């Protein structure tokens, strides 16, 4: 987990977002490819078809979580949380996870591989200080911007334009993974 950083919602601290791939002795942590205002961009992690993924999110403030998966087949965003009437509310200091409160079962990589599609898999976790409804088309546009620019140099700008909130009212972690055969 990244340490304390810029103020979020007027309080010291960052949203903690952690992604783990595999299980048991083969479990490994994937660091976010990009974080809000971090200036750090990391190479993608690797996940094999059939491997399990687990996610943990913890916010220093009460807020709202949006979790999106950018599909490898078409690059479109799929809302993982909230879904179907859930509101996406987080309590400060409480851990939320997959498996766990966000979804009872781990996510399992089903493919196709990055080599087959030419796309990397992406997972975006955004926490806001106020409730913000993000239309799927706008999230898809941001995903397309990430892909078109060949990296995440403009991720803060793209996510910020989606939210239309002051910089200190949101934080995010963006993961990128190469999918390979198991």
The pLDDT value recorded for residue 155 is 64
| Dist. CA 118–CA 139, nearest whole Å | 20
The pLDDT value recorded for residue 51 is 94
Q: Which residue has the tokens 């892909």?
A: 147
The pLDDT value recorded for residue 6 is 45
User: Three-state SS for 14?
Assistant: coil
Stretch 137-141: mean pLDDT, rounded?
72
| Dist. CA 55–CA 178, nearest whole Å | 17
**Residue ranges covered by each domain of the chain:** 16-180
Mark out the alpha helices in 88-174 (DSSP H runs): 114-117, 136-148, 155-163
pLDDT band (50, 70, 90) for residue 3: very low
The pLDDT value recorded for residue 143 is 67
Q: What is the tens place of the pLDDT at every residue in 49-64?
A: 999 999 999 998 899 9
Q: Which residue has the tokens 């909230």?
A: 82
Residues 6 or more apart whose Cβ sits within 8 Å of residue 104: none
Full-prediction pTM beyond 0.75?
yes
| Weakest-pLDDT range from 79-83, 130-134, 151-155, 157-161 | 151-155
Dihedral of CA atoms 145, 135, 96, 157 in degrees, nearest 10, equals: 30
């Amino acid at each position: 987990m990244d340490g304390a950083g810029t103020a979020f919602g007027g309080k010291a601290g960052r949203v903690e977002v952690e992604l783990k791939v595999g299980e048991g002795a083969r479990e490994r942590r994937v660091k976010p490819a990009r974080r809000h205002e971090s200036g750090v961009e990391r190479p993608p992690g690797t996940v094999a078809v059939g491997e399990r993924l687990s996610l943990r999110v913890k916010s220093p403030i009460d807020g709202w979580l949006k979790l999106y998966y950018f599909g490898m087949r078409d690059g479109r965003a799929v809302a993982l949380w909230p879904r179907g009437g859930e509101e996406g509310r987080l309590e400060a200091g409480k851990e939320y996870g997959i498996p766990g409160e966000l979804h009872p079962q781990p996510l399992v990589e089903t493919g196709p591989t990055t080599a087959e599609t030419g796309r990397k898999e992406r997972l975006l976790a955004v926490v806001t200080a106020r409730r913000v409804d993000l239309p799927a088309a706008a999230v898809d546009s941001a995903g397309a911007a990430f892909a078109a620019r060949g990296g995440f140099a403009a991720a803060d700008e793209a996510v910020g334009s989606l939210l239309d909130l002051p910089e200190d009212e949101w934080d995010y972690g963006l993961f990128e993974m190469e999918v390979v055969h198991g």
